[in-house]
Amino acid sequence: MNKLAACSTSCVMRIINILKSRLVSHSPLALAHHVTSLCNARCKMCDMWKRSPRHTDDLSREDIFAMLDDAKEAGMIGYIAWGGEPLLREDLPELLQFAKKKKFLTMLVTNGFLLAERCKEIAPFTNLIYISIDSNSPLHDEMRGLEGILKNAIDGIKACKREKIKITINSVISNLNLDEIDGLCELSKELDVPIVFEPMQIVSEHNRHLKATDEDLKVAFSKILKYQRSGYKIDSCTEYLQNFSKQKKYVCHTAKCYVTIDAHGNITTCSENKKWGNVKERSFAEVFDSMEFKEFCRKAEKCNKCDVSCVAEVSLAYSLNPRFVLGSIRNLL
Ligand SMILES: C[S@@+](CC[C@H](N)C(=O)[O-])C[C@H]1O[C@@H](n2cnc3c(N)ncnc32)[C@H](O)[C@@H]1O
């Protein structure tokens, strides 16, 4: 009963914080934290692993606890651990446990290579895990530059299901895996796990040549929509999937939803281009209350260059776009 009462209190607190942020302060509600820049994969579409040698500069556990205390003070309610590969960080369970104790909703984004091995350690402290799988064939190992990663990710999903952790597969579409959509949808069905899709973002010269053309994305996302309509567990919102075939625009609200903290503690928004100081030197409240941050959020509303889910789909959700809301309800049902 006490547990139930505590749970209801934290739900009410979260709703209050959401309303406060949405209607009054317009401050971000979540932090996406690169818990380490170390990575065990060598992905063709991502260049973060190139920063691996600098992982000794990652924030310490104590720094992260202080950052979470400060985030709580600033009214944030979501903690997303990613990287680099978050499961390479030994003390990840302690970080998630601390966040959970502070009543954050906790999420993990992982390539799944070490998931089966470490799943029991994180299970009690993790609300949702996104597992990255971009192909249900040997192409996945090739794209990620890590032999055995597809098998391990699938074993990880099965282990998470046994531990009753909520899981979603995250697939990034580039011109390397345009033909893999059928296989990915079938994998989701076979494992009975939802799947979401988004296009690859150009991060540097490392992956520019892999960006699929608008026309290819249109075909790919129309196919994904068909799978969704025929009952496959495609959890991407319908309105977001339709953006690729109908060239619809959105108003960018990302900076009002979450900030990204890099492995060294720099507070960033907007694909990490805009830096707001370091968590060791500046509080979140100080950043969010500054005129400069508010002005940045206003200006960002005029931009809609990004098509990745963490920008376009998040912005549609923030806008409470009626078709988005209906699409979300339909997906939930
Ligand atoms: C950068 S990874 C870090 C977490 C973890 N190592 C993993 O692979 O899931 C976070 C997510 O971004 C996705 N991603 C990687 N490169 C991307 C790109 N260029 N554009 C969009 N998403 C990308 C990954 O597939 C993964 O789902």
Question: pLDDT of 252-290, one tens digit each?
Answer: 999 999 999 999 999 999 865 789 999 999 999 999 999
Strand partners, 308: none
Residue 199 structure tokens: 């296009």
208 vs 244: CA distance, rounded Å:
19
Q: Whose CA is nearest to atom 23 of ligand 1?
A: 200
* Residue 44 Cα distances to 172, 193, 208, angstroms: 12, 25, 10
**Half-sphere exposure in the Cβ direction for 123 (13 Å, CA):** 17
Residue 237 structure tokens: 């919102």
Ligand 1 touching residue 83 (CB < 6 A)? yes
Render pLDDT for 137-147 as a digit per residue (tens, 0 to 9). 999 999 999 99
Q: Tell me if the pTM is above 0.85.
A: yes
User: Among 109, 149, 160, 198, which residue has the most ligand 1 atoms within 8 Å of its CB, making it the best to mutate?
Assistant: 109
Render pLDDT for 55-81 as a digit per residue (tens, 0 to 9). 668 999 999 999 999 999 999 999 999
